[in-house]
Amino acid sequence: METAAPSNPRRIRAIAPVIVWMVLPALVIFGAVYLVPLAKLVAASFFRDGALTLSNHLDLIGSASFRDIVLRTFKMAVVVTFFTLLLGYPAAYFLSRLAPRRAALLLLLVTVPYLTSILIRSYAWIVLLGPTGLINRSLLWVGIVDEPVRLMFNMTGAYIGMVQIQLPLMIFALYAPMQRIDRTLLNAAQSLGGNRASAFFQVFLPLSLPGVLGGSTLVFLSSLGFYVTPALLGGTGDYMIAQAIQVRVSNLADYDAASAQGTLLLLVVVLAFVLLRRRLTDGISESAAPAATGQRVGNGLRTERMPEAVAQRLHPFFRALSEVLTWLRLPALYLAMAFCLLYLVAPMVVVVVLAFSDAAYLTFPPPDYSLRWFRAFFSDQRWLSALWFSTLCAGLAAVLSTLIAAPAAFALVRRRFPGRLTLYLLLISPLVVPRIIIGVAVLFAFVPLGISGTPIGFILAYALVGVPFVVVLFVTGLRRFDRDLEMAAAGLGATPARVLSTVTLPLLVPTIVSALLFAFIAGFDDVELGLFISGPNATPLPIRMLENIRLEISPQIAVVGTLLFAALIGVFGLHLGVSRLRGLRRRFAKKMILSGTPPRPGAERGAKP
């Protein structure tokens, strides 16, 4: 590989200028709005009564309740990651087998959970899961149970809520790399005597592991920050570390205690990363990708050996499974996808019904229907300006975080330089550092700059929390990237810029779109940063919603969710229309032009799974 580590050890310190330029924008913004203020906050937690001390941290480590909270939080994050993977993998597999345009439509639907505030969504879950809820009523009616099953206000409820909100992230992280796996390999495996299922286990599964790693990293780390969902849907003891930290910041205004806890949480995560660093540096390096050419298969397998070995050991089991799955494959896939969509969309259906309620409070089904809450929304300038403010700031922030994080991800994957793992950890750390602590830190950074309570401040802060999503999704996307296509273009005389614009970026479209989307959502859904940097002329939608639901939950916020859902359906329709038009044009164009651009990988793929 041409970018491998220089052989001369003395040159290791000299990092190529091009790498510096790729990484610098991200580092500058991180340094200014995140690292420096955060470091001050963390430093403060090492002082007690003006003296340098470790006692704040040692007290915590010694406290049984803190260990209990940390353990519970990690356990919860592991379980959530497991279930999102279990549900998300078949769904992403299903989507990856569709024609990209059709998949895009379904992927759009997958983002539905992000359209509503957590509070209204949790009410929707109560409607569905409660003792007199739709699920229990159906179970009783069918006769599966004799009395209502407790599905909420216990860990089950918390998991149902948390897995739903993380599922879209997992599906997106899995989809982009899966979509680029060369299906001819599967055909090859089958032609060599394997059945469809064994071809899947031997070929597809190992090739999809970068997506599994990336998706699991994102889901696991962001699950550590859960507190509203377990607080609303969980039981009496489901108390998470993010909640303990939130209480210390919001109610006690004790930033030292909060940052001591945040520091320890971060430390545990960093420790885990360091222990796993071998796998992780492999994980962020470009493994010699698609096992298409003989030379590379050997290299490529190195990182995948472990699962393959496991697969070998489990061979008899897999064979039996393969036989079954070969027959059940299609129905099972359709069923898995349908279940995912139902799971993701069901609460939204309740929300839409609630939006048309005539009642002043939440009750399902509504006693009567009217448009009163829509009228109230559109006649209140404050709602409209908050909606506009959030859309604008989160949108620009998504672009900014993609612009700064994508080059850094390229550097991480394609270059070798000292401190790569550190850089990776730094860029994804905003996922682990509790959002509310970041809120305090950015406030202290922004006030001297005069940008607290301004759109600029919001764009920077939102970009910061969007970066981890962009980095992980790009690293995931680039790992399964077929460099041969780039080399071919370069070999044919294309300049690097032309290679980037005509080969690399078009191939990365699914990755770019998911990165923009999740960076957007990271800002658009944010409450904690908004609590700290809002101002008279800068109030985002979630803060407006929070104001509306603290004391009374009216159907008003269901309207916001419904409008966003309608916008999504609108985009859906538009997309459908445009792709139909494009299809017509392409058919026409094909007749006119004989030679074309290099075929898109997977273009020969069937449209049906």
Interacting residues with other proteins (CB under 8 A): 63-66, 68-69, 119, 123, 126, 130-132, 153, 231-232, 234-237, 239, 243-244, 247-255, 257, 359-363, 382, 436, 439-440, 443-444, 446-448, 452-453, 531-532, 534-536, 539, 543-544, 546-554
d(CA 412, CA 475): 8
**What are the beta bridge partners of residue 535?**
538
| Distance in Å, CB of 149 to other proteins, minimum | 15
**SS3 at position 408:** helix
51 vs 603, beta carbon nearer other proteins: 51
Total residues belonging to the chain: 609
d(CA 173, CA 30): 24
**SS3 at position 535:** strand
| Distance in Å, CB of 224 to other proteins, minimum | 17
| Distance in Å, CB of 348 to other proteins, minimum | 20
259 vs 285, beta carbon nearer other proteins: 259
DSSP 8-state class, residue 47: E
| Distance in Å, CB of 400 to other proteins, minimum | 23
> What DSSP string runs through 300-312?
HHHHHHHHHHHHH
48 vs 313, beta carbon nearer other proteins: 48
| Distance in Å, CB of 393 to other proteins, minimum | 16
**What are the beta bridge partners of residue 52?**
47
The first and second tokens of residue 207, run together, are: 């090739």
| Distance in Å, CB of 81 to other proteins, minimum | 23
| Distance in Å, CB of 241 to other proteins, minimum | 10
Return the closest-CA partner of residue 111 out of 334, 388, 345: 345
254 vs 604, beta carbon nearer other proteins: 254
Residue recorded with tokens 């470790």: 54
| Distance in Å, CB of 433 to other proteins, minimum | 16
261 vs 511, beta carbon nearer other proteins: 261
**What are the beta bridge partners of residue 357?**
369
**Distance of alpha carbon 495 from its chain centroid, rounded?**
34
Contact 272, 264 (CB under 8 A): no
Return the closest-CA partner of residue 514 out of 464, 474, 481, 467: 474
Return the closest-CA partner of residue 85 out of 184, 196, 191, 217: 217
d(CA 176, CA 516): 13
| Distance in Å, CB of 447 to other proteins, minimum | 4
Give the DSSP H or E segment for 518: helix 509-524
360 vs 569, beta carbon nearer other proteins: 360
Q: Which residues contact 327 (CB under 8 A, 6 or more apart)?
A: none
| Distance in Å, CB of 69 to other proteins, minimum | 7
Q: At what angle do helices 255-275 and 435-449 cross, to 10 degrees?
A: 120
149 vs 247, beta carbon nearer other proteins: 247
CB burial of 263-288 (b: ≥16 within 10 Å; e: otherwise) equals bbbbebbeeebeeeeeebebbbbbbb
The first and second tokens of residue 228, run together, are: 């509203």
492 vs 551, beta carbon nearer other proteins: 551
d(CA 14, CA 178): 36
| Distance in Å, CB of 67 to other proteins, minimum | 8
152 vs 517, beta carbon nearer other proteins: 152
Contact 463, 400 (CB under 8 A): yes
Give the DSSP H or E segment for 578: helix 556-592
| Distance in Å, CB of 124 to other proteins, minimum | 12
Helices (H), 234-314: 241-250, 255-275, 277-284, 294-313
d(CA 457, CA 444): 12
The first and second tokens of residue 50, run together, are: 């003006």
157 vs 211, beta carbon nearer other proteins: 157
Return the closest-CA partner of residue 262 out of 481, 102, 43, 115: 43
89 vs 532, beta carbon nearer other proteins: 532
Give the DSSP H or E segment for 146: none
132 vs 312, beta carbon nearer other proteins: 132
231 vs 321, beta carbon nearer other proteins: 231
131 vs 395, beta carbon nearer other proteins: 131
